[in-house]
Amino acid sequence: MKALLFIILFSIGLSAFSQEGKKVQFVGGARSLISQSDFTSDVSDTVTAPKTTGGYALIDLGFKINPNENTEVLGMIRIKNQFGGFYGAGVTFDVRQIHVKGVAGKVLRYQIGNIDYKLTPYTFYNHNPDLLVQSLGINKIKEEVLNYESFYKNNNWRQQGAAADFAIQFPKLIQELKFNGFITRLNPSASNVLERLYGGGNVIMKQSKYLTIGVNHVRVFDLLQTADNDNAYRNVVNSISYDLNKDGEKIKLSLDGESGMSKSFSTQNAEGGLSDFFIHVKGQVSFKKCGLKLKMAYMENGADFRSFGAQSKRMDFNQVNSFYDRYTNSQILRPLSYYDLYNDPSLYSSSISTKIMSFNPSINNVLPYGIATFNRKGFYAGFNYSDPKKIIAADVTFYRLGEIRGQGTTQLRSFSYLTSTVSFNLSNWMHWKKKQVFQLGLAYQETNRSSQFTFEQIILKSLTASLGLELEICPDLYLLGSAFLFSSKGNESMPVRTPEGNIINFNEYLVDGREINLSSGIKFNFSKEVYVAAVYESNKNNFSAENPYKYNQILLYYIMKF
């Protein structure tokens, strides 16, 4: 009754607010998922429940209020009900996002509260180093869900803090100077843990349409006197980014990149800190008529280069699964699989970590922290092609990199990495009105370290291949299909690090496994932002030779955005 009264009063309040000429909008989304899983392992397992049914319904309800034309207030709550929860049981209420943003004095744009922010790939950037191939079909639905859950969009990090920017335009020499700044909180203070903040900004000078130069600065810093601790941590990154281009009638030439340096230290041990630099230069040629773009780049990221805003991973590979976390009669932990990366959004985080996060060398050993990965040097080259009729599109890049400093030895690892995506738009080819898209993705990595000693030798090969299709069989009704193969074989020597990042030991990593996922389903679009999809999938994993497993799953999604 109280809730009903509250809703009525709130609605009256809102309508009164609207009547004064001020805008109130409802924004958000809703999602429902029902799943039925059937898990089996090849070894005796009378403990794990083979079949589970789960799911949830949730609604993200946001109120976007514009008290005046220069101000926006957004508050969004999430109501989530686990499948089977009734009358309050299994129901949670959370604040999903809240911010105030606007323009002050028609000059300064600001945002306070939740901010989605990035600067440059080496300073503050949310790389995606674990999902190596582009998704289509069913995996695209899953990827959209996990991106929505963790606010992953355009490589931004979702943080709590404040951001502001403004620009100054000039009549001569320089077209525009743009100033951006932000400050966020990484952790609150505790008894002997200092308050840790992350802030920075850049100045971007647009000299002309041919030249843009940016000066970027970010720093992680502890605030002294916020706890019983005098040893404050600092990580400072400064860089220069640039973009030169010459846009001709037939050809466009461009040269862009970023170079800079980092310094990490504790105030009581400044001499024991780390400092290093990085260089990244990329040249591109675009042939406008034929839709071909060629690129070639050189990168060199020092072994002690640390930039936690750009090297934090979306996923911590030390965490435990929430989906069939244990299996077999011994109830061993089920390691994170490639499928879990798509299936479980709760594995992802939006935190900036000031520790070197763990990674899975089978998935990405070449650039585990994205393009900002430290201790890498070499070239990459590739092409991007899109034919004028938009029938075929291809994006291929090949990296040839190596270490700068050896780990446990003076012998250096060398890396090869080929990544490609090819899309066929059959409807454009056949001149059909209905959408028919077919996509192939491939990522192949190879790591080598040769040595006269067997214990120093490393050979690790990994392949991730995906296939996706979306076939519109009648208006708004799609047949979906996805498949991926993930295999890895070889050995690695994985560093064991202290919390400060120093390597104290090495663990031998041996792998010889394969994971195959096949899925199909149908999707019906009620509108561009609302759809329902029914999916059946089968997954087989033998990365553990002693305890291989497989499972089938039926999923029903209902997704809405408004």
Partner 1 sequence: MKYYITLSALILVLFSCHKKDSKIDGPSLEDLNGQFSVLSPLAASIDSVDFASGETVYFTALFSKTSEWNLKITGLVSGAVKTMTGTSNELNASSSLWSGETTNLPIFKNENCKVELTFPNETDTLITYVKVLQAKVNSGFLISDFENGFNSGWTSFIQSGANMNFQVLSDASSPQGNKYYNMAGTVNWDWLIGYVYFKSTAYGGAPAFPLSANPNSVYFNVMIYGESGTTNSIVLFQFEEDENSDGIFTAASEDMYAKEIKVDWAGWKLVSIKYSDLEYLVNGVPATPNGNGTHDSNKIKTINMLHLANPNSGFAKSKLDYIIFTENGPLVP
Residue ranges binding partner 1 (CB under 8 A): 210-211, 240, 242, 244, 246, 255, 257, 259, 261, 277, 279, 281, 300, 302-303, 375, 377, 404-410, 412, 453, 455-456, 493, 495, 502-506
CB atoms within 10 A of CB 44: 9
Strand duo 436-449 + 458-474: pairing: antiparallel
Q: What would the two tokens of residue 189 be?
A: 């203070």
DSSP 3-state of 119: coil
In the complex, what is the shortest distance from the CB of residue 273 to partner 1, in angstroms, rounded to a whole number?
15
Please state, in angstroms and as integers, the Cα–Cα distance from residue 496 to each residue in 318, 357, 410, 448, 502, following that order: 12, 11, 18, 20, 8
Give the H or E element holding residue 310: helix 308-311
Q: What is the dihedral of CA 264, 265, 267, 271, to 10 degrees?
A: -130
Q: Which amino acid is at 24?
A: V
**Among positive and negative, which fits the CA dihedral 126, 129, 133, 136?**
negative
Nearest distance from C-beta of residue 459 to partner 1, angstroms = 16
Per this entry, what is the length of the chain? 562
CB of 372 to partner 1, least distance (A): 15
> Is 3 in a helix, a strand, or coil?
helix
**How far is the C-alpha of 35 from the C-alpha of 534, rounded, in Å?**
10
Shortest gap between Cβ of 404 and partner 1 (angstroms)?
A: 5
| Nearest-approach distance from CB 217 to partner 1, in angstroms | 16
CA-CA distances (angstroms) from residue 301 to 55, 372, 483? 44, 7, 35
Residue 320 CB: number of other CB atoms within 10 A? 11
Q: How far apart are CA 313 and CA 498, in angstroms?
A: 18
439's enclosing H/E stretch is strand 436-449
Show the CA angle centred on residue 29, arms to residues 26 and 30, nearest 5°: 125
Comparison of 278 and 417: residue with beta carbon closer to partner 1: 278
Considering beta carbons, is residue 404 or 483 the nearer one to partner 1? 404
Instruction: Identify which of residues 457 and 542 has a Cβ nearer to partner 1 in the complex.
Output: 457
Q: CB of residue 242 vs partner 1: minimum separation in angstroms?
A: 6
Question: What's the rounded Cα separation, in Å, for the pair 336 and 124?
Answer: 27
With beta carbons less than 8 A apart as the criterion, state whether 122 and 128 touch: no
Of 321 and 375, which CB lies nearer to partner 1 in the complex structure? Answer: 375
Q: Which is nearer to partner 1, 72 or 403 (CB)?
A: 403
Nearest residue (CB) to partner 1, 65 versus 244? 244
Residue 542 burial class via C-beta count within 10 angstroms: exposed 0-12, middle 13-18, buried 19 and up:
middle
- Which position has the token pair 């040249």? 283
Q: Return the half-sphere exposure (C-beta side, CA atoms, 13 A cut-off) of residue 85.
A: 15
Nearer to partner 1, 455 or 526 (CB): 455
Q: How far is the CB of 359 from partner 1 (least distance, A)?
A: 16
Are the C-beta atoms of residues 267 and 194 closer than 8 Å to each other? no
Nearest distance in Å: CB 311, partner 1 = 16
User: 396 with 413: CB under 8 angstroms?
Assistant: no
Nearer to partner 1, 193 or 479 (CB): 193
Look at the block and give the residue holding tokens 């069989």. 473
Least distance in Å: CB of 400 to partner 1? Answer: 16
Cα–Cα dist 2/42, whole Å = 54
Q: How far is the CB of 494 from partner 1 (least distance, A)?
A: 11
How many CB atoms are closer than 10 A to CB 135?
A: 20
Nearest residue (CB) to partner 1, 24 versus 177: 177
* Cβ distance to partner 1 smaller for residue 298 or 385: 298
Around Cβ 304, how many Cβ atoms within 10 Å? Answer: 19
| CB closer to partner 1, 84 vs 272 | 272
Q: Is 479 exposed, middle or buried (0-12, 13-18, 19+ CB in 10 A)?
A: middle
CB of 239 to partner 1, least distance (A): 11
CB of 525 to partner 1, least distance (A): 47
Minimum CB distance to partner 1 smaller for 47 or for 496? 496
What is the sign of the dihedral through the CA atoms of 132, 135, 139 and 143? positive
Is the Cβ of residue 234 or residue 497 nearer to partner 1 in the bound state?
Answer: 497
Question: Nearest approach, Cβ of 225 to partner 1 (angstroms)?
Answer: 15
Task: Tell the smallest beta-carbon distance from residue 259 to partner 1 (Å).
Answer: 5
CB nearer to partner 1: pick between 165 and 243: 243
